[in-house]
Amino acid sequence: MTAPKRASDTPYPVEVEEGQNYFWCACGLSKSQPFCDGSHKGSGITPVKYTATESKKVFFCGCKETAAEPLCDGSHNQTAKATA
């Protein structure tokens, strides 16, 4: 697998807790989006660790094309326009 699978056309809003680690699914295969469930094994793509610096709502990327891994940077808007 050379490119991740698009899991969603929108980001995943998640309330994170300060000091907690989260492992974002970078391959798009996880059934537990936006988090890793081990489905990447053998894909050549590994999850991205995110450590919350404060308790708040963050938006994890769903399209898997963000330049700000693992958080959404709006890339899903550009990709959606390109495929329309």
Structural domain range at position 17: 12-83
pTM of the predicted protein model: 0.88
Give φ, ψ of 59 to 5 degrees.
-120, 105
Are 25 and 38 in contact by the 8 Å Cβ rule? The answer is: no
Instruction: Indicate the average pLDDT of the chain.
Output: 93
Q: Considering the domain boundaries, does residue 17 fall inside one?
A: yes
Q: How crowded is the C-beta side of 80, counted as CA atoms within 13 Å?
A: 11
In a domain? residue 49: yes
Q: How many domains does the chain have?
A: 1
Say what the pLDDT of residue 68 is. Answer: 95
Q: 74: Cβ–Cβ under 8 A, 6 or more apart, which residues?
A: none
Specify if 27 maps to a domain. yes
pLDDT band, very low/low/confident/very high, at 49 (cuts 50, 70, 90): very high
Give 84's pLDDT tier (boundaries 50, 70, 90).
very low
For residue 80, how far is the Cα from the chain centroid?
16
Q: Is 55 a domain residue? A: yes
In a domain, 6, yes or no: no
